[in-house]
Structure 1
Amino acid sequence: MPHSLVLNLLPQSPIYPQFLTGRHFHALFLTLVSSVDPALGEYLHNSSADKAFTLSPLQIQRRPKPHQHSLQFSHQQPIPAGTPCWWRVSLLDDSLFSKLTPLWLNLNPEHPWHLGSANLYITSIQGTAQSTQPWANVCTYPELYEQASESDRTINLTFSTPTAFRQGQYDTTLPTRECVFNSLLSRWNKYSGIELSQIAIETIFPSFVNIHTDILADSRSKFIGILGEVNYRILGEVEPMQIKQINALADFALYAGVGRKTTMGMGMVRRL
């Protein structure tokens, strides 16, 4: 069962920009895991395989602007103490969620967690769909599949943090149907227990594209990815079952993300 959890945070001291990077969010998540299961935290730290979680960059709680779907992925100024923030963690594997259940159930809002030199309190967790928070949701894999439309041929995806895909030894930023839907398919088949084998990717065509590239740089590396929206259409004679499978993958994007560095805040995608 994939979970998309939004953790509401309150910093007790300023969070400086050098600690607002993907590797610091990754380290914070492993600290949370290790607090309830040290062996699991060590395993996730050492594993180089595709991991069963994704993370977002830290977001300052603001009133969302209409039609603005991108998230803040870099900070030039410190986040002041007392600024309400949120952070999305998605879990793709049932066993991972169940092992972390003690963390969610025994959350102490007065226990500080550390992001660099800053202390953070986790004040609450949202785990179900919210009208004011589109990144929180939960759904079993069978429900995701059963609820997927057999007739909807339009898929509008928003790329909310920089997204890039690995091709051979190099990255590409172009969200081709193969890059996007093969990324979703591999994660679906790995975690869902419902294998999809005959996806009609050749029937998917971009019909509207509004994207641009952006650069995310820290002291170690530079990451170039795309942001924006792509509308894909399913064209031609396609079996309803094949349309259903493509729609299931598109709905799964909220939880899985696409492309590279999804455990460090990149590749956050959802269907509009």
Structure 2
Amino acid sequence: MPHSLVLNLLPQAPIPAQFLTGRHLHALFLTLVSSVDQELGNSLHQSGADKAFTLSPLQSSRQIKRVGLQDSTLQWEHKMAIPEGTTCWWRISLLDDTLFSKLTQLWLNLNPQHPWHLGSADLHITSILGTPQSTQPWANASSYAQLYEQASDSDRIITFSFATPTAFRQGQYDTALPTRESVFNSLLNRWNKYSGIELSHFSIESIFPSFFNIHTEIVADSRSKFIGLTGEISYRILGDVSPEVIKNINTLADFALYSGVGRKTPMGMGMMRRRLHISTPSKNYNYAL
């Protein structure tokens, strides 16, 4: 059962910018895991690239929206320290039932006064959101069976919002272009690995991009540079396609909230979610809600 948990945090001292990278947040997550299961923490640290969790960058209530970024785009780098006492949130998604169950004691026995360390700063986890909120679209939970059962078998428009830079592995190199193969095969691979539900007769041959407003961003740290896309893209399902195939495509689109796509999702990259649409009959435009 995938979970998308949002942790509300309160730093007790300024968090220097150099400790707000994906590597440091990844280390903080492993510390949380190790606090209830040291063996599991070690296992996650040593596991390969495809891990059963994703993380977001740390989001600050004082963040300044950069010119040109859409409302759905998150802050993935910090040029300055986050001041003491600034309310923050951090999304953790878990794709594996076993992983969530092993961390249950962490969520149930949360002590809001217990300090967790990010660099030189202590953080208090004040609350955890695990169900949909009107002001927090990244909190949610659903079983894999529910995702499949509730997916539409008639909706032919799929719109994704890429909230943090996203890139896909192509041979030995990365590509930031969100082709249907890159996006939907990434979703399908993660669905097949964790859901236990086979999407039979799945095909991407009927999926075509119909709108895109995307651009590239560079994420740099002391070790490397990562180039990925942010923005929005819509795909349409065209032609004579069976309801079963349409349902499979919509299932993966709904699953995107939890799984993300592409590279470095445990480091805050590849965060995406589906956006709903309404139609205006007079002009047949589609507007993202």
Could you say whether these structures have the same fold, taking a TM-score greater than 0.5 normalized by the shorter chain as the test? Answer: yes
Note if 1:20 corresponds to 2:20: yes
Paired residue total: 272
Note if 1:209 corresponds to 2:212: yes
**Code of the aligned partner of 1:239:** S
Note if 1:130 corresponds to 2:133: yes
**Code of the aligned partner of 2:247:** K
Distance 2:129 2:36 in 1: 20
Counterpart of 2:202 in structure 1 is: 199
**SS of 1:201 mapped into structure 2:** coil
**SS of 2:205 mapped into structure 1:** helix
**SS of 2:250 mapped into structure 1:** helix
2:77 aligned to which of 74, 77, 80? 74
Q: Is the 8 A contact 2:10 2:87 kept in 1?
A: yes
**SS of 1:236 mapped into structure 2:** coil
Distance 1:199 1:170 in 2: 27
The CA deviation string for residues 100-134 of structure 1, in whole angstroms up to 9 with x for no partner, is 00000000000000011111000000000011000
Structure-2-length-normalised TM-score = 0.92
Counterpart of 1:264 in structure 2 is: 267
**Code of the aligned partner of 2:153:** E
User: Shift of residue 63 of structure 1?
Assistant: 9.8
Distance 2:200 2:110 in 1: 40
**Correspondences of 1:97-112 after superposition (within 5 Å):** 97-112=100-115
Q: Which moved more, 1:221-230 or 1:62-71?
A: 62-71
Distance 1:141 1:40 in 2: 23
**Correspondences of 1:1-272 after superposition (within 5 Å):** 1-61=1-61, 68-272=71-275
Q: Is the 8 A contact 2:166 2:176 kept in 1?
A: yes
Structure 1 segments, 4+ long, off by >2 Å, are 61-67
Distance 2:106 2:31 in 1: 11
Structure 1: stretches of 5+ with no match in the other structure: none
Distance 1:158 1:84 in 2: 25
Distance 1:129 1:135 in 2: 8
**Code of the aligned partner of 2:13:** S
For the structure 1 residues 120 and 209, does the alpha-carbon distance in structure 2 shift closer, same or farther, using more than 3 Å as the test? same
User: Shift of residue 197 of structure 1?
Assistant: 3.9
User: Shift of residue 198 of structure 1?
Assistant: 2.4
**Code of the aligned partner of 1:246:** I
User: Shift of residue 67 of structure 1?
Assistant: 5.5
Distance 2:63 2:33 in 1: 30
Distance 2:220 2:145 in 1: 39
RMSD: 1.4
For the structure 1 residues 162 and 67, does the alpha-carbon distance in structure 2 shift closer, same or farther, using more than 3 Å as the test? closer
Q: Is the 8 A contact 2:6 2:129 kept in 1?
A: yes
User: Shift of residue 50 of structure 1?
Assistant: 1.0
